[in-house]
């Protein structure tokens, strides 16, 4: 059994839907197929525009009910296309798929999948065309899974159904050593470990959402990232690091422009300060990425700097201003002209020289590093957005990632 | 408790949705409200166009799943608009409403409504915004109710919930003695009996679908047809004939252009012939309206003439050709340039002179009558489409319907 997932650009038009149906029906000849489909091209944007015309802040439940129609349209059309080419298919919404989620709107997590209905249709020889991004709460409300929702649906279904492989079809050939639009010599990776992919996804490589990668890793699921528009391409395979002999210290370099840096200056150095600041951000559902706390010479106050997604910058700034007032901090700042450049590699942990090489090379190129954070297999640097693309090229050359 | 229904033109844009939400929230101040909403303006046409790009004849199940998204979009938006103006509201799809239908697609009938969930929300003080036109089969498939679906949803919900009134909001003031666009002196009727409305709806007055009228009559439900865009207008009230002192022999004259006339010539006069012909049409789900069977002098063969909706004319013609071959009939014909002019009145049954007056007046005006059919409270004549509008005016004048 195989689970396939097709993103919004893959089903943008009738012609593209027919292309996708061709891929699915070919796979269906070899065995049972569940095809997870996103909303067509700009349907979601259109629906969001409609809702904004009516209400600047609509109830999350109604927004979910509205947005879920996007995938319901595309799954019906893909099922029609499959039937038209002789492959018997049935479309199922999140609720019909048995995807039970938390009772949270706009970013619900999957709690359980009751696969009875899917299995019954597969047993009858039908291709199941599954709506990505959506589920149903125990109260029977339509929920959506938030960012990376369709990828998550695909991986979760693959895990629940015990599928051999989950093919994520997108509009690129797979995972590259750097964005090929930015670095001409970027190389397509034929394999990558879950851990590397997770770090790459987290720092902005948009082929596969970290949530889906995490779920794949947990279930040791073979996930392949492939190109919808180039069927001969075998793409990039995600597997456990144990399956590969990894010698590369650096697999790729990733740029994330969706960053804003905020700071609060001279907050009192006492217990509960960080809790108050980041609690206020969590209340607004703002995810925080890098955090750096620096103490001043007199040790009674701290500067705290962190990054958030650019969309969240203004809301985070308001929260921070309120916190600063409460804490009698000296001031706050926000900088939206930053980007994050990261290198990722499963071999990084054994090579302490990689970080210093990277910082030295950036320094020589006149690129100022504003913040640094690292994990076992990733090193990220916040730089000015104007320097970001150059930083990617410098690093790609430095580590010979084209080889 | 009140049930309100708003058609597609009433929710065509954000501004119109806000207008509708205003009507609903005003009603909600007086008591519990269930508002049934159709798909926005041309959403259904857009979805049909999409599906035709993919498949000329998509599976009915998938077409239903696709079309049902139209109402799901509009109910979410109406619920948002209500919440925006401070009226707490929740949108419910056909499935969430508990509208159980037959396991038939594209024209399912309602089998039962489980009102538990609706009642719970109403008890919590919420306005329920209900998707018209859709339900769910016992197998959990999304079904649609076919023509007049949203009207039927509204009346069925009103009956199931024991609502006092069902207000059908549309883009006209109510039921007129004739189409005001055609007859300048047409008069708005403040009351009409179920039976008259049923006949008027059947012969083409499009304010309320006959299915919904029939259901209202069975449940003795007070249905009011009102104008979404003129809230001061009290519209036309449907009630039992017993509640009214009806002296009018003729309440209105109705034109139905959606007609085509078919005929089979010299079919053998033997048992089972009509069954074969109309069975073949039923198989294609073609509804037949007027039927006339005329025998020839030798009495061994019959001509059978009948009318269908114009959209069904070609398909009916094919079925008829096949039947003619099987029966060795002499030939078949189809005429799409016909229209049906009808007069309706609860007082008709006591006035045998009305029919002859009508036929004489049409004859004097040089209008040829091609077919006639009557019920207790209706007289219909098929005429050439070119004569149709003139026939309406002649009849409106004849019976002084402007008075």
- Tell me the count of A-B CB pairs closer than 8 A: 109
pLDDT of residue A231: 84
pLDDT at A242 over 70: no
pLDDT by residue (tens digit) across A103-130?
Answer: 999 989 999 999 999 999 999 999 999 9
* Assigned token pair, A282: 């969590």
Residue B106 touches partner A, C-beta closer than 8 Å: no
| Contact residues, chain A, for B76 at CB < 8 Å | 51, 62-63, 65-66, 69
pLDDT of residue A195: 86
B364 and B387 Cβ atoms separated by less than 8 Å: no
Residue B216 touches partner A, C-beta closer than 8 Å: no
| Contact residues, chain A, for B93 at CB < 8 Å | 65, 142
Q: Which B-chain residues 1-40 have CB contacts (< 8 A) with chain A?
A: 14, 17-18
pLDDT of residue A247: 59
Please give, rounded to a whole number of angstroms, the shortest distance from the CA of B95 to a CA of chain A.
10
A14–B73 CB contact, under 8 Å:
no
B73–A69 CB contact, under 8 Å:
yes
- CB burial class (10 A; 0-12, 13-18, 19+) of residue B368? exposed
* Rg of chain A taking only CA atoms, in angstroms: 23
pLDDT by residue (tens digit) across B295-344?
Answer: 676 667 878 889 999 999 999 999 999 999 998 998 999 999 999 999 98
Please give, rounded to a whole number of angstroms, the shortest distance from the CA of A117 to a CA of chain B.
10
pLDDT at A244 over 60: no
Residue A42 touches partner B, C-beta closer than 8 Å: no
In angstroms, rounded to a whole number, what is the distance separating the alpha carbons of residues B209 and B232?
24
A188 and A172 Cβ atoms separated by less than 8 Å: no
Residue A59 touches partner B, C-beta closer than 8 Å: yes
In angstroms, rounded to a whole number, what is the distance separating the alpha carbons of residues A63 and A47?
9
The question of ipTM being above 0.85 is answered as no
* Assigned token pair, A371: 């913040």
pLDDT at B273 over 90: no
What residue of A is the nearest CA neighbor of B58?
A80
In angstroms, rounded to a whole number, what is the distance separating the alpha carbons of residues A47 and A51?
6
Residue B75 touches partner A, C-beta closer than 8 Å: yes
Residue B61 touches partner A, C-beta closer than 8 Å: yes
Please give, rounded to a whole number of angstroms, the shortest distance from the CA of A310 to a CA of chain B.
27
In angstroms, rounded to a whole number, what is the distance separating the alpha carbons of residues B263 and B293?
10
Q: What is the secondary structure of A267-294 as a DSSP string?
A: EE-STTHHHHHHHHHHHTT--EEEEEEE
A59–B83 CB contact, under 8 Å:
yes
Please give, rounded to a whole number of angstroms, the shortest distance from the CA of A288 to a CA of chain B.
30
User: DSSP state, B242?
Assistant: G
| Closest to A252 measured CA to CA, from A367, A172, A348, A128 | A348
| Closest to B75 measured CA to CA, from B97, B92, B98 | B92
Distinct helix (H) and strand (E) counts, chain A: 12, 18
pLDDT level of residue B110 (50, 70, 90 thresholds): very high
| Contact residues, chain A, for B53 at CB < 8 Å | 14
**Please, what are the domains in chain B?**
2-171 (3.40.1160.10)
What residue of B is the nearest CA neighbor of A136?
B96
Residue A388 touches partner B, C-beta closer than 8 Å: no
Three-state DSSP class for B341?
strand
pLDDT at B156 over 80: yes
Residue A82 touches partner B, C-beta closer than 8 Å: no
pTM reported for the whole predicted model: 0.81
């Amino acid at each position: 059994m195989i689970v396939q997932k097709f993103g919004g650009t893959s089903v943008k038009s009738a012609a593209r839907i027919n292309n996708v149906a061709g891929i699915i029906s070919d796979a269906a000849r070899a065995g049972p197929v569940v095809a997870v489909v996103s909303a067509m091209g700009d349907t979601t944007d259109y629906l969001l525009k409609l809702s904004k015309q009516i209400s600047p802040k609509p109830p999350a439940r109604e927004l979910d009910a509205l947005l879920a129609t996007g995938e319901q349209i595309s799954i019906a059309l893909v099922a029609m296309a499959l039937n038209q080419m002789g492959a018997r298919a049935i479309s199922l919404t999140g609720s019909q798929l048995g995807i039970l989620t938390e009772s949270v709107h706009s970013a619900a997590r999957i709690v359980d999948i009751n696969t009875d209905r899917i299995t019954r249709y597969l047993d009858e020889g039908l291709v199941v065309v599954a709506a990505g991004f959506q589920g149903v709460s125990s109260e029977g409300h339509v929920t959506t899974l938030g960012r990376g929702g369709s990828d998550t649906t695909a991986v979760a279904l693959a895990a629940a159904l015990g599928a051999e492989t989950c093919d994520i079809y997108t509009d690129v050939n797979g995972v590259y050593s750097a964005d090929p639009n930015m670095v001409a010599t970027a190389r397509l990776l034929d394999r990558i470990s879950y851990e590397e992919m997770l770090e790459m996804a987290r720092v902005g490589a948009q082929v596969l959402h970290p949530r889906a990668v995490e779920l794949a890793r947990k279930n040791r699921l073979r996930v392949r990232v492939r190109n919808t528009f180039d069927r001969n391409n075998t793409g990039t395979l995600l597997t456990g690091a144990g399956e590969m002999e990894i010698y590369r210290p650096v697999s790729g370099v990733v740029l994330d422009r969706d960053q804003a840096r905020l700071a609060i200056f001279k907050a009192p150095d006492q217990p509960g300060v960080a809790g108050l600041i980041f609690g206020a951000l969590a209340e607004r559902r703002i995810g925080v990425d890098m955090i750096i706390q620096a103490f001043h010479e007199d040790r009674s106050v701290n500067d705290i700097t962190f990054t958030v997604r650019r969309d969240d910058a203004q809301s985070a700034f308001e929260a921070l201003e309120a916190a600063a007032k409460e804490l009698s901090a000296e001031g706050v700042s926000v900088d939206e002209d930053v980007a994050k450049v990261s290198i990722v590699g499963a071999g990084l942990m054994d090579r302490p020289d990689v970080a210093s090489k990277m910082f030295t090379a950036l320094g020589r190129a006149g690129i100022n590093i504003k913040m640094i954070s690292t994990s076992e297999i990733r090193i990220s640097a916040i730089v000015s957005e104007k320097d970001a693309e150059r930083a990617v090229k410098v690093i790609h050359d430095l580590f010979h990632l084209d080889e």
